[in-house]
Amino acid sequence: MVEGKLDEELQNIVLIVDEVDDLVVNERPNAHYVKTDVEQTPDLQACYTKLRDGWSLEVEQDPPEGIDHNFWIRACSVVRYCEDHIQEGTHYRVIKGEDDRDEVIMLDDKGNVPKVPLAAPWLQYMNYKLCGKDPLAQSRYACVCTPYIFNKYAGIFGLTGSVGGKEELKYLTDTYSAVKFDVPRFLDTCIGNARKVVKNHGVELHDDEAALTTRVVQLCREYYRQVPVLVIA
């Protein structure tokens, strides 16, 4: 993709997905990729060091020697945001990292530790201020639109038990020109021993847990030689 060979690489490939529901992008269709900027990282560290050590956040003042004024303004805005808005327990938490060193992690909107680590400009400054972890300037080098990438394939084939509601099906049709066709259930295609209609054997209510357990064991002993028995407690 970065080399400009996306069409060439994907135009003859058919993508097979286990669940076509995964093609429904209902949150962030664009993914931004960044890399460490070796030229700006020393400037970022210099700015954060001055601000951590007590330099004024007034952007009108001259920046540290050799620092571009616009870069200084951005650094000041990050630090000001930290001082005005960021609170421990609400936005971040200090934990022990894999190397047994303190580390600041970003919490989700509910104040919980997310399954996937989150990132934000203020997080680097808080890690530098509280844990001494050197900040790294980052530059965006690619932006990937998920539906755009999927549409570059020659075709997409997938199965699903259900695509949800009409809106999901409409999204797949509008975004990927999807064509839906129903496949008969496997047991409906059997010859000679077709699928039997499942009968509801009823629901029973018992006075206590002991009586319920006794009845479950009784049913298991009665039917386990005839059919597979699964007990969900």
Structure tokens that stand for 87 in this block = 């609170």
Q: CB neighbours (10 Å) of residue 128?
A: 19
Beta bridge partners of 143: 32
Q: Reduced to 3 states, what is the DSSP secondary structure of residue 141?
A: strand
What CATH number labels 38-136? Answer: 3.90.1440
Q: Would you kindly state where each structural domain of the chain is located, as residue ranges?
A: 38-136
pLDDT value, residue 41: 93
* Residue ranges in the chain modelled with pLDDT below 70: 1-4, 59-60, 161-164, 187, 193-195, 201
User: Looking at the whole model, is its pTM more than 0.95?
Assistant: no
